[in-house]
């Protein structure tokens, strides 16, 4: 058994993905899943090569190819996506410009000058043919395979309206000079040859193109997570050969190369420290704010940031073998396997379209059998097709999505598309990353405990003075805690992974790990201070011991603090029917302490990026529908795998790109508002679809009885569209809940 991934081209709706799946699964030894949003197929094949799979996809009327390596895909996929969006935008703009005067001439009698109908024909023809060509093409493919989709509905409706208009203009009485379109609720089929449907053909095309444009833009962003991950790494590296240092592209490095990484630079690839000591900020990868101390023989990961001293690193892994590339593959796998929303319109279209076609044929036959003139029979049949044209259906999703996402953007909530909405209703578990999500992600002083006879002000002043010379985040937190900017200590010296020393006001001051102070400086620590250190470390805090002239001055505790709104946010998530879970790569003590502050009982600590993905899949296997909230690169795979991924706006681009919803403010409190807004938008879409279908079902019998003239049909579709739009506009009244 082997897994084969395929890039699929030519899909326009969820039914296309279903059709390709059926085609692939008919091959012996093949199990396939096609993802419409990412345009990828994941195939498990037993003894079947890629060429056979590609041929099967192509026989269904679509294109397929074996994907290129991840690193090669980013730029090309983005360029292809931009080309598709640009082409569709051009088609939409041209069609809208041409359709607007057609609608005005047809709907406003005062504008109907002599022979206006021929101008309307000239303007509507490019729209009905060229503008709607993507729908006509897919409808033809559907017909060849005995299938139907929303594109079939659109194509049939547009062509029926346009075709009857041509008949009425050239063979009926609609083309005579001075023709005017009048409005009557009840017409006679005999008048069909005097009416035209050009405004219907052009307006339907424009409305549906607008919805398709929104959809294609969302699909273009499906590869953004991978591109963002690849952009995390360093672009250049300082290559050292002998005593010569040369700046080279990071992509040219090979295992065995030695590179120099200075403070403030990213590691260009995975490697091993040969010389130097430093603190490394790995938060972009691990999600944890506490830097990692490195020395000789320490391993480094490409993309992490050197915040301390100068390091000489030997490259051990490059390209697809690096940790960053591994996480990129996790994101890609998770996205490929994500279940897609089953849009109501696409599910029903497969049944609705053939039924409408059969009803139109039966109408034609019935009228002829009753002895009616062929013109009367044909008029009733065409009216049946026209009234079934899915104008409101095409507007149902994009208008609600447009208004809902627009309102969301005003509130700092970015919703990716309709595939997100359905999951917000079904989600029952929300997994929260700790650092940067529940907590601030920034090291700060929690409290300071001075020794007997020492004031807190004195303790902080001396500690800040000696830490001022260090760039370590813990040192920065202590320096920032001082009421006044400290003066740097004289004779400053840093000891990697241990602490710092210096002379302040003539006193020898040291600050760092308590074990270092007792072993190297013979500092005696009082029992109350030792107990405070133990308690702080059990809570996951970093305890910095401070001494001067060999005497302990006290302890300063530093930690990543909980955001002020996190506890209220967790309560709101519970009110929405969600069970919170805290997930972090941090230690058990720190995780439990943060969870206790916000009211979370289910805690998963010490979890790697791959472990976070495993946790999501385990919860899903247990029957839960899972939302994941995170902000780091390490969260990307979990965000993509979750049924609903929510990224904090203050996090990494990779996390944001892998998510379904982005909270721009980074405030966990807004996550509840995001879910409420998404659910409200989904309810609006379902209401729109229901009434759009109800309109069709109610109007089709009237058309079959021959009681619809073109203006009634056009008015009915216009009214259904007005309802859909006005119902969608109600989302503009959505309000965020006030901060408690």
Catalytic residues: 433
Distance in angstroms (rounded) separating the CA atoms of residues 210 and 99: 13
| Residue positions counted in the chain | 740
Alpha helices in 145-242 (DSSP H): 150-170, 198-220, 224-232
CA distance 545 to 272: 31
d(C-alpha 495, C-alpha 739), whole Å: 45
Q: CA separation (Å) from 563 to 283, 595, 668?
A: 18, 12, 8
What torsion do the CA atoms of 366, 372, 373, 376 make, to the nearest 10 degrees? Answer: -70
The Cα 644–Cα 629 span in angstroms is: 9
| CA distances, 369 to each of 253, 265, 360 (Å) | 81, 84, 14
Q: Which two tokens stand for residue 715?
A: 């008015």
Contacts of 395 (CB under 8 A, 6+ apart): 207, 211, 688, 692, 721, 724, 725
DSSP state of 436: I
Element (H, E) at 402: helix 391-410
CA–CA distance from 29 to each of 22, 45, 344, 479 (Å)?
13, 6, 32, 65
Percent of residues in the chain assigned helix, strand, coil, to nearest 5: 55, 20, 25
* Residue 550 per-residue DSSP state: T
Measured CA distances, 300 to 262, 292, 304, 306, 329 (Å): 14, 10, 8, 10, 20
DSSP 461-498: HHHHHHHTT---HHHHHHHHHSSSPPPPPEEEEEETTT
| Phi/psi at 370 (5° precision) | -80, 0
Tokens standing for residue 573:
């998530």
| 536, 530 contact by CB (below 8 A) | no
Distance CA(240)–CA(237), nearest Å, equals 9
Q: Are 607 and 586 spatial neighbours (Cβ–Cβ below 8 Å)?
A: no
How many other CB atoms are there within 10 angstroms of residue 80's CB atom?
Answer: 14
DSSP code string of 583-650: E-SS-HHHHHHHHHHHT--EEE-S--HHHHHHHHHHHHHTT--EEEEE-SGGGHHHHHHSSEEEEETT
CA–CA separation, 431 and 581 (whole Å): 5
What is the rounded distance in angstroms from the CA atom of residue 222 to the CA atom of residue 644? 15
Task: Show the tokens assigned to 309.
Answer: 């001293």
Distance of alpha carbon 710 from the chain centroid:
43
**Rounded Cα distance, 725 and 413, in Å:** 22
Tell me which residue has tokens 């379209």: 353
Q: Which two tokens mark 275?
A: 């010389």
Helix (H) or strand (E) holding 294: strand 292-294
Tokens coding 565:
């709104």
């Amino acid at each position: 058994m082997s897994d084969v991934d395929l890039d699929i081209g030519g899909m326009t709706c969820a039914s296309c993905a279903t059709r390709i799946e059926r085609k692939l699964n008919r091959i012996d030894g093949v199990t396939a899943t096609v993802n419409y949003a990412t345009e990828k197929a994941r195939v498990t094949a037993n003894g079947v090569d890629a060429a056979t799979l590609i041929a099967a996809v192509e026989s269904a009327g679509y294109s397929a190819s074996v994907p290129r390596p991840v690193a090669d895909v980013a730029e090309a996929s983005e360029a292809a996506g931009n080309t598709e969006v640009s082409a569709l935008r051009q088609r939409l703009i041209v069609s809208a410009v041409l359709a607007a005067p057609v609608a005005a001439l047809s709907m406003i009698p005062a504008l109907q000058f002599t022979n206006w109908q021929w101008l309307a024909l000239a303007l509507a023809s490019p729209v009905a043919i060229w503008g709607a060509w993507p729908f006509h093409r897919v409808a033809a493919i559907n017909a060849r395979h005995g299938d139907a989709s929303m594109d079939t509905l659109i194509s049939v409706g547009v062509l029926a309206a346009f075709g009857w208009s041509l008949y009425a203009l050239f063979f009926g009485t609609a083309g005579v000079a001075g023709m005017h379109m009048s409005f009557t609720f009840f017409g006679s089929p005999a008048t069909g040859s005097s009416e035209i449907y050009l405004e219907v053909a052009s307006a339907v095309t424009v409305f549906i193109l607008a919805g398709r444009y929104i959809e294609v833009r969302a699909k273009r962003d499906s590869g953004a997570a991978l591109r963002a991950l690849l952009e995390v790494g360093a672009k250049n590296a300082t290559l050292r050969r002998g005593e010569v240092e040369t700046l080279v592209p990071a992509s040219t490095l090979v295992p065995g190369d030695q590179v120099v990484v200075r403070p403030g630079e990213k590691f260009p690839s995975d490697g091993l420290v040969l010389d130097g000591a430093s603190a490394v900020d790995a938060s972009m990868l691990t999600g944890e704010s506490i830097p990692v101390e490195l020395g000789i023989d320490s391993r480094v990961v490409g993309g992490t940031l050197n915040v301390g001293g100068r390091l000489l690193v030997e490259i051990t892994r490059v390209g697809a073998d690096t940790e960053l590339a591994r996480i990129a593959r996790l994101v890609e796998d998770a996205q490929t396997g994500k279940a897609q929303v089953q849009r109501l319109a696409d599910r029903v279209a497969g049944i609705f379209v053939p039924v409408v076609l059969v009803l139109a044929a039966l109408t034609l036959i019935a009228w002829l059998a009753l002895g009616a003139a062929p013109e009367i029979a044909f008029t009733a049949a065409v009216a049946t097709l026209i009234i079934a044209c899915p104008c409101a259906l095409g507007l149902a999703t994009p208008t609600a999505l447009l208004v809902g996402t627009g309102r969301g953007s005003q509130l700092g909530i970015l919703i990716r598309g309709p595939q997100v909405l359905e999951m917000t209703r079904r989600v029952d578990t929300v997994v929260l990353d700790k650092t940067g999500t529940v907590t601030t992600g920034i090291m700060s002083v929690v409290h300071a405990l001075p020794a007997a006879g020492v004031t807190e002000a004195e303790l902080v002043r001396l500690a800040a003075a000696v830490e001022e010379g260090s760039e370590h985040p813990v040192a920065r937190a202590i320096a920032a805690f001082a009421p006044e900017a400290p003066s740097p200590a004289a004779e400053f010296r840093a000891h990697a992974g241990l602490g710092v020393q210096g002379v302040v006001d003539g006193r020898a001051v040291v600050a760092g790990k308590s074990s270092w102070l007792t072993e190297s400086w013979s500092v005696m620590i009082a029992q109350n201070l030792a107990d405070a250190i133990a308690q702080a470390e059990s809570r996951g805090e970093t305890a910095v011991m401070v001494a001067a002239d060999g005497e302990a001055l006290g302890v300063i505790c530093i930690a990543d603090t909980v955001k002020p709104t996190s506890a209220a946010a967790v309560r709101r998530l519970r009110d929405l029917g969600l069970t919170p879970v805290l997930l972090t790569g941090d230690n058990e003590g720190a995780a439990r302490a943060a969870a206790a502050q916000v009211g979370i009982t289910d805690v998963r600590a010490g979890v790697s990026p791959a472990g976070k993905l495993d946790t999501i899949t385990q919860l899903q296997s247990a029957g839960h529908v899972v939302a994941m909230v995170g902000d780091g690169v390490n969260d990307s795979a979990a965000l993509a795998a979750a049924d609903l991924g929510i990224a904090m706006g203050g996090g990494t681009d990779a996390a944001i790109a892998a998510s379904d919803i982005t909270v721009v403010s980074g405030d966990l409190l807004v996550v509840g508002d995001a879910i409420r807004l998404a659910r409200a938008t989904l309810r609006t879409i379902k209401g729109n679809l229901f009434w759009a279908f109800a309109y069709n079902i109610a109007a089709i019998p009237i058309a079959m009885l021959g009681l619809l003239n073109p203006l009634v049909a056009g008015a009915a579709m216009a009214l259904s569209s007005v309802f859909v739009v006005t119902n969608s506009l109600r989302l503009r009244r959505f309000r965020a809940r006030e901060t408690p």
